[in-house]
Structure formats: structure tokens, C-alpha cells
Amino acid sequence: MTVQQGSCHCGNVAFEVEGTPTGAMSCNCSMCQRKGVLMWFVPRDALRLKTPDANASTYTFNKHHIKHRFCPKCGIHAYGEATDPKGNPIAAVNVRCLEGIELETIPVTPFNGRAL
């Protein structure tokens, strides 16, 4: 299986994730629209941190279901953690943080997060 390498801008938060993104989601909620992330959803165990978990800060808002993980040094949102509707742990990897990814080749699906 392919392993993608990713990090924040300064490298304080680094990770690897199994798989190849075949699509991403762009959400227009008040948080995601400001961050500009493109989320690729994977099982949480497919995401492995290469730096200590404590290197990433956590932000939650609204219903506090999603842990938005970001670097406190450079401010880049690298991934999020939550559970899917069946209760399985998932990660929302920001494909913009992956190394060697050609963003124009990844189909982006809009999601109306403002409606939630």
C-alpha cells in the first residue's frame, strides 16, 4: 500500500498516512472556509504521527465532535480527528499538507457545512 508523507509548514507536526487520495472534500462551514483545507477521510489507524501528539494543538467548536489538529508554531491545520456515523474513528487529512501531491489531479467535492 502507498504511504503518503505529510506535515505542517515548519515540520513540528509530521505524519504518514496509508493510501492514495482519490478525492477530497471542501467544506464551507465557518471554520473550514477560513482554513481552506481539502479533507481526505481515512480510518484513524491509517494516520500515524511521526512527531509527538503533544506537538499538535487541538481546537473544537460547535458540537465539539471534531478535534481540529494544528501546529501551534506555524498555524497550519494538518488533520482532524472524529468518528464516522457508525462510531468508527476517522481522520480528515488536509491533502494540502501532503508531500508530492498534485492538487489539480484530485477531484474536490463541496460540502455544505453551514447547513448543519
Query: Could you tell me the CATH number of the domain that includes residue 62?
Result: 2.170.150.70
Q: Can you give the pLDDT at residue 87?
A: 95
Domain extent at residue 44:
3-115
Q: Can you give the pLDDT at residue 51?
A: 98
Q: Considering its fold, how many domains does the chain have in total? A: 1
Q: Is the dihedral of CA 63, 69, 46, 106 positive or negative?
A: positive
Tell me the whole-structure pTM to 2 decimals. 0.93
- What does each of the 116 residues of the chain score in pLDDT, given as a tens digit? 799 999 999 999 999 999 999 999 999 988 889 999 999 999 999 999 999 999 999 999 887 889 999 999 999 999 999 999 999 999 999 999 999 999 999 999 999 988 87
